[in-house]
């Protein structure tokens, strides 16, 4: 992520997955657990998080996701450094990753 950023293809795949998840969550909104709603209100009162509800969240996501660019995602991701205790898991073919290459990533 720090070395190469995100490609347009990677973003397209992630966007399609996220949009599919948003649509599924919206269609199944009446089957949601009450703990999800509870947790949303707890975060609102304790952290000041905005409570939008599933319908508005779905509309916002489907409107905003297509406008994201790889440059915006890379710029946002660049804010995460090792001192933020961030863990990023990647899946690569064994033949494309070497121990020496992994040691060079900082």
pLDDT at res. 70: 86
Is the pLDDT at 93 greater than 80? The verdict is no
pLDDT of res. 19: 92
- How does residue 45 score in pLDDT terms, banded at 50, 70 and 90? very high
Instruction: Provide the residue ranges of all domains of the chain, joining segments of one domain with +.
Output: 8-104
Residue 9 pLDDT exceeds 80: yes
Contacts of 22 (CB under 8 A, 6+ apart): 57, 58, 61, 62, 65
**Least confident stretch, 45-54, 60-69, 91-100:** 91-100
Highest mean pLDDT among 3-7, 50-54, 64-68, 88-92: 64-68
């Amino acid at each position: 992520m720090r070395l190469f950023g995100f490609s347009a293809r990677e973003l397209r795949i992630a966007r399609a997955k996220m949009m599919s998840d948003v649509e599924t969550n919206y269609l199944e909104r009446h089957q949601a657990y009450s703990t999800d709603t509870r947790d949303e209100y707890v975060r609102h009162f304790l952290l000041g998080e905005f409570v939008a509800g599933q319908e508005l969240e779905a509309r916002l996501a489907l409107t905003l996701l297509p406008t994201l660019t790889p440059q915006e995602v890379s710029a946002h991701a660049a804010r995460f450094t090792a001192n933020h205790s961030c863990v990023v898991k990647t899946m690569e073919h064994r033949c494309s990753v070497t121990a020496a290459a992994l040691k060079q990533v900082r």
